[in-house]
Structure 1
């Protein structure tokens, strides 16, 4: 095993954690809340989408008894200039409240959001995504229908995030790959490390429920294909940027589609097996073996393409 290959697996394993939780539908509420609050404190870098369980980025909210005040980070483009004047920067100390934990308003917002997500998950598992209305979700969560739409502008957002964590993690795996490693090895290694863990007992229950809900809804299947297409485009754009490929060159798109094809195929295989009742070390090993075989096939044709110099 080369040093480069070892580094790749280590990076992929670390970056795979968010994807495993996302696909298995089992994010820890406290960890998700902490991540959301941490993201609400902007820095000089671009503010990324909040990482929350089965959530899309929420829209701005109008005050009402059960709805929190608007979150300026969620709709940054529309935020007033005064908000950005308070962002910490060189020679500027952050406000005192930014150094504390979540405010009461933020805590209430997170509790409301969590209640909506839990209610939706229960109803989707019980009756299927297409047979549950937003009104029913609101009633079970103890909120009004408008509150659900304030947090999730579209119903599919209760299952798929608008900006799924896999996007940032996949790009990070590509950008952090060591010299001499191809983009297919870095991105493919990340995919294999992540999806193989979906066979673990810890992920099996959530994975089984998610698989049933998604496969029982054409709407969700169509949305998942859209997300996969967006991920493919994002990866191709990163490869194009690195290689300075000219307009019309096919290689970046071929490489991206190959890697995301491996991801899609391995994910469907994992769903097939957990729905059949399989889980545990044997399933993890089987998924890893199948994934590595697929990655080896990609490497045979793409090993020399887009190596870091």
Structure 2
């Protein structure tokens, strides 16, 4: 078992029935649950994140979610963990700059404001990092020493975990593989940097390319099904996406040298229809020494990975302070 999980379990066992609240904040939804020290969930629920309302909207949604999970009583609650989009400073817990999904939170002191609002110890991290932490400890990367978990949806996010701990980088921005300059230049990236791979390797890029070739509806599931049925246009769309995603993963593999790459997110629900061409692309763009023993697999924890990871983060903090 992961050493940090053992420490968390010891904290839990020493003090009766205790739990953390794990929260996964998105531009549309807020996912929340009670999380045990070994990552089991209770009371998982989704509610509107209210991110489009104001800077206070998501804080109010979070406070409501915590109140619903604790039933107004906080006996046994060890703390709150939150996963959020954006680059989060690992020291201050603040959003380091703008994020497309949280328009009112540019350079926002997230941990400080949320702790004040809840009156509880709070820890925060990037949502992709926390999904990666959950997959590393309890999901598809369990048992790996080094793993990369990539979430492919409207955009691309990634988290790197080394021996049970998230690799944050100097400013909290490690893992931004969607912004590697490997794009074909067909569409601008929302970040403003030229030639990012995200517009070509994400779900939104897949849909755009499908529309350009006259496919309708241009949703990921429909495109993958059409490709499997032999539609040459859909096959071209999937091949182009897999090639660019594989190129980005190849760079990540060359830099990080992981045991396993985990693919999650909405687009990754295509399963082997995406995994097979991505594996082939990773093989094309990766050194032979790094391909040896490398696994590229589907995520195991689904939409709950971020909540599990947020809860584990809170347990980690409790274990360090015990």
TM-score (norm. length: structure 1): 0.25
| Greater RCO, CA 8 A, separation 6+ | 1
Larger radius of gyration: 1
TM-score (norm. length: structure 2): 0.25
More strand by share: 2
